[in-house]
A and B are shown apart, each in its own frame.
Chain A
Amino acid sequence: MSTIRQIAKEVPRVPRIAVGILVAILLFTMFMVGFDQGHLFSIVQGQPAFDNMWMHEFYHDMRHASGFPCH
């Protein structure tokens, strides 16, 4: 008589929640470091944020050093 043996093997999967959080971190921080021209602060500060560009100035030297377009 033949018997069937089932072996359950757990394969480590990449957790989707962690991937979702990492994608959000990637997009937000990349925008902040490389592309913001006052947009983020304008949410609370309005139009003056585009003149002050605090985020742009804060990341200014890193933008140049990492190859992002800058003024």
Chain B
Amino acid sequence: MNSINLLAVTIFSGAIAGTILAIINLGLVEPYIDSAIALETQRKISSGENVDMAELVHYRIWQKGGAIAAGAVYGISLGALFGIVFAYGRKALPGDSNKQKALFLAGILWFVLYLMVAIKYPANPPAVGDPETIYYRQSLYVGYLAISGFTALGLALAWKRVQLGSKKILFPLIYAAIMIVAYVALPPNPDKIGISMDLIHTFRVVTALTIGLFWGILGIVFGSLWDRFISREEQKYATV
């Protein structure tokens, strides 16, 4: 396997999936972010706080302007993780083709790195997070993400090595048990919610779907590029 091909396939597929996510977000997620910011601004004005509207508009232009680039970078970041896991685990993944294997892995990673974490620390629109608690919330989020990710990784490595036959059903049960303990042991998000729960619930559902879509696109693009550039390269070596 050639380093350049692996890097190119990984980075390119991540950038494509991330850019598509950003474009989808502009249509599906941005309206909720705008609504939440409008509510937050209204609340600040009602409480007598001085709001610099020119600065707010300036920040929103910067934030929206960065959306596509931010999506591409986000995609490259998770694409890098995806590429490493796929390169090492491809043979153990179920599926008849690389596209199927990549799609399966994408589903697992969405579940382990997004959905499981979102059950404990769900996504919130602006107007919910308190700037004073950001480092505390980040450490909780990273802690729970690490527990989910490393538990899944450990169990995936053990899957091939442990001879349990039909008792392999134990593996997902072990994962579930560890995540239940972590869910109970880790403290909740400390911030109080002061805006409409309807807006928050809709935002969470929509973002879970768009991130799921991102992982699906990443899997399909990655599997296709792997077939095009890496499988052919391996076949070339095999026939020499």
| Residues on the A chain within 8 Å of B41, using CB | none
CB distance from B151 to the nearest CB of A (A): 19
Decide if B7 is an interface residue (CB 8 Å cutoff): yes
**In A25-53, which residues have CB < 8 Å from any B CB?**
25-26, 29-30, 32-33, 35, 37
Say yes or no: A18 contacts B25, CB within 8 Å.
Answer: no
**Number of A-B residue pairs having CB atoms within 8 Å of each other in the complex:** 133
**In B122-164, which residues have CB < 8 Å from any A CB?**
122-126, 129-131, 134-135, 137-138, 140-142
Given known A-B contacts A10-B237, A67-B207, A29 and B80 have beta carbons under 8 A apart = yes
CB nearest neighbor in B for A58: B66
| Residues on the B chain within 8 Å of A59, using CB | 66, 70, 73-74
Decide if B39 is an interface residue (CB 8 Å cutoff): no
CA distance A20 to B29 in the complex (A): 34
CB distance from A48 to the nearest CB of B (A): 15
**In B69-105, which residues have CB < 8 Å from any A CB?**
69-71, 73-74, 76-77, 80-81, 83-84, 87-88
CA distance A30 to B131 in the complex (A): 20
Given known A-B contacts A35-B138, A60-B63, A15 and B3 have beta carbons under 8 A apart = yes
CB distance from B228 to the nearest CB of A (A): 16
User: Chain A contact residues (Cβ within 8 angstroms of B): what range?
Assistant: 20 to 34
Interface of B is mostly: helix
- Report the count of interface residues on B (CB-CB < 8 A): 57
Decide if A14 is an interface residue (CB 8 Å cutoff): yes
CA distance A35 to B4 in the complex (A): 29
CB distance from A58 to the nearest CB of B (A): 4
| Residues on the A chain within 8 Å of B77, using CB | 25-26, 29-30, 33
Chain B residues in contact with chain A, CB under 8 A? 1-4, 6-7, 10-11, 22, 25, 29-30, 33, 59, 62-64, 66-67, 69-71, 73-74, 76-77, 80-81, 83-84, 87-88, 114, 117-118, 121-126, 129-131, 134-135, 137-138, 140-142, 189, 207, 210-211, 234, 237
16 further A-B pairs in the complex, CB-CB below 8 A; given A14-B87, A32-B73: A10-B237, A12-B237, A23-B80, A23-B84, A37-B135, A57-B59, A61-B66, A62-B70, A64-B207, A65-B25, A66-B123, A66-B211, A67-B121, A67-B207, A70-B129, A71-B126
9 chain-A/chain-B pairs, Cβ below 8 angstroms: A19-B84, A21-B3, A33-B74, A58-B66, A60-B59, A65-B211, A67-B123, A67-B207, A69-B138
Chain A residues in contact with chain B, CB under 8 A? 10, 12-15, 17-19, 21-23, 25-26, 29-30, 32-33, 35, 37, 54, 57-62, 64-71
